[in-house]
Structure 1
Amino acid sequence: MDQTGLAARRTAHFILQQVTTEGRLMSEVIGAGALNDLAPDDRARAQRLATDALRGLDRADKMLRQHVKKAPPIFVQNALRLAVVELATDGSAHGVVNSYVEIVARNKRTEKLKGLTNAVLRKVSETAAAQWGKSAVPVMPKWLRGPLIEAWGQKAIAGVERAHFSGAPLDLTPKTDADAVARATGGTVLPTGSVRVQEAGQVSRMSGFIEGEWWVQDAAAAMPVRLLDPQEGDRVLDLCAAPGGKTLQLAAMGTDVTAVDVSEGRMRRVQENLKRTGLTAEVIVSDAFEYQETGFDAVLLDAPCSATGTIRRHPDLPYAKDGSEFGALIGQQEAMIDHALGLLKPGGAMVFCTCSLLPDEGEVQVEEALGRHSDLTIDRAALDKPWIEKDWITEEGGLRFRPDYWPDIGGMDGFYMAVLRKGS
């Protein structure tokens, strides 16, 4: 481990640069090897620094504007952002100012600004911790905040932003016994059956991981399968299956599950988790539209979407994206619904779901699907389950989840889901 902290800070700065200037998601940058040259402790530190900075980016920028009249080049700006967050939140951090001055100095294009960096950070360090605690909750970029306020209102989105800034606890889906998993991990069983761990360490070292007693899955992401509630022996298609949490749920319920996804790499992870948990599913790497097998009792379609419901776990998303891809995603979802219905046997059920906060990727998609298919109905009887709260039920008969729900116990991801029934 680098005792100076410079290696982790340089990597965190690289990640922040890739997100804010190249539009790459943090997972993509890390998957491409950004952390490979670091010791394990430094890997964790770099990832945490980048995540914390992205989560508090708006607040950091507001603090910096008190000391910098004109925004410096983005390379310097990102170094300052990381430093502000560290100075404000990590009382044990050492060498913060020197590290970020060195990062700026090593770049030939910005080396002349090392003096500015040093001066600004020395000033910030005097009041950073006190000011951070009194500052307003960071808000989302305008391109996303505007549509969400239009959909849910100012008050709701203020709650969503508080949830984003607070981050997310670790949710586990038990293979069988939720109470046993809660006891072993120090977690709490949620009303929906997931286990929530507020203070989790390294996942692979937690009790029950190696034994395959559970897998990581946000509580909201576990609800589509619970809503579908298939019966043992049902033939179920999990379309767009990766990362595979729903496949594992379906397999644990005793269904004959086929998991289809286009990503070979992500499907390898699904197979690894199936092996770890001792569960069985047919795993097929294929484009969803090219998969043509029919006659399924049920289909679970977790369609590709904006992922705007997952920002509390992935704070890079609002800064890596700009909303320009939303139109294409909405069109793809519409086509996927139509294709998936064709794979369903008459009388079968399909759950359509997206981890999005945008009604165009949820409520609107279902309303339009009902208009396109005269034999399609929404299964309101599926909502008659004890874990479903009335406030979650939408006008057309689906379920809507937002990060500001369950505020006292750590919130949940934003999700939409509905059960559609094909005519017989």
Structure 2
Amino acid sequence: RGRYSQGGSIARQAAKFGEMIAVCDVDDRHTAEFNQAFGERLHMYRDYRELLSQERPQVVTIGTPDHWHVPIAIAALRAGSDVYCEKPLTLTIDEGKQICQVVKETGRVFQVGTQQRSQDNSRFLQAIAMVHSGRLGKNVRAAVAIGGGPSCPPIEGAAAPDDLDWNMWLGPAQEAEYSEQRRMEFRWFYQYSGGKMTDWGAHHIDIAQWALGHDQSGPIKVHGQGQLPEIVPPQFDWAAFFSGRQQLPSAFNTAMNFSIEVEYADGAQMSVHDNYERPEDNIQFGNGILFEGDAGRIFVNRGKLEGRPIDALSEADQRELDEIVVELYKGKQPGNHMGNFFECRQDGSLPISDVYTHHRTMTTCHLCNIALMLGRELRWDPQQQRFADDEAANQLLSRESRPGFTA
């Protein structure tokens, strides 16, 4: 019947900081299960618009499939709620521009669920501190591996369960027949997500771009190669898909493997891979970030932080890095990501995973996907947030929403 593990998880985390009053899900079974966990005292809804109108909540957490993140978040912000939304926040680059503007207009607190910025023993912040302190030397380059997506045979449609509002699940996406596979594995459909590029890119590209000093800007050039599932026609009209005039095949359709180069205006470079291999240096990893400069090399993922000069740090060196980590965390001690959100609600400061830097992260993720779709080099203007003299690519900045579901 599908999963709601992440949406339920962040809601339960938020409940530690306040009173839970209502739950909304298009699946009646999910709302009933969640309500039961709270003593069956919550008000239950299928339509988030009714919840916002009738409950007027102070805080909204969002853990839906990706294509619903921005429409619900914008509605919540305009209803006066502070928002904690799961990653990846956006389905398109223009969605990111739109929600940044709404956050600015409403003045609400907005945190994105990229918890690597807060948790995992601060090892990602330690890695960034190593780069920013100059301990890796100059000309630091990042290599990111995030895994690839699967393929599958064509998916047959079926009747949706009676206690599921399938039309509402689809929301702004194109009409499609129900299937349990489509619903449970939505990340592998460009209709609802961006594949591994946005799923794990929202984490690792985020950290790499922050370390390289471009978390508030973005690249100027993106190029590379990759492979989509065979069911996607080689000359598929992506502009027609983005405008709603053409459907993708009913099967997994996001990138299975890829190797992409990302370049920034100051010469900084990052590469993004499904799997990174460099046999001559005995380097191979499928998930993590490798930072290399002319004075050192370190590797970080959720399980470890290793390399030199990490292995040779003195106590004084570590104290200096710890001070940089606090600076990176906006003068606070890193800790619970949800806790940071509620703390920022109290003191009015910007959350550690704010909407503006996350939009820049997601822009880079989307640029990588667009480069794969079009199969050529792209030149990007991070200030204008448009492709330079490339109208074909600019047609992929936004998507047409189904009537009645426009944010």
| Structure with the bigger percentage of helix | 1
Whichever of the two has the greater Rg, that structure is 1
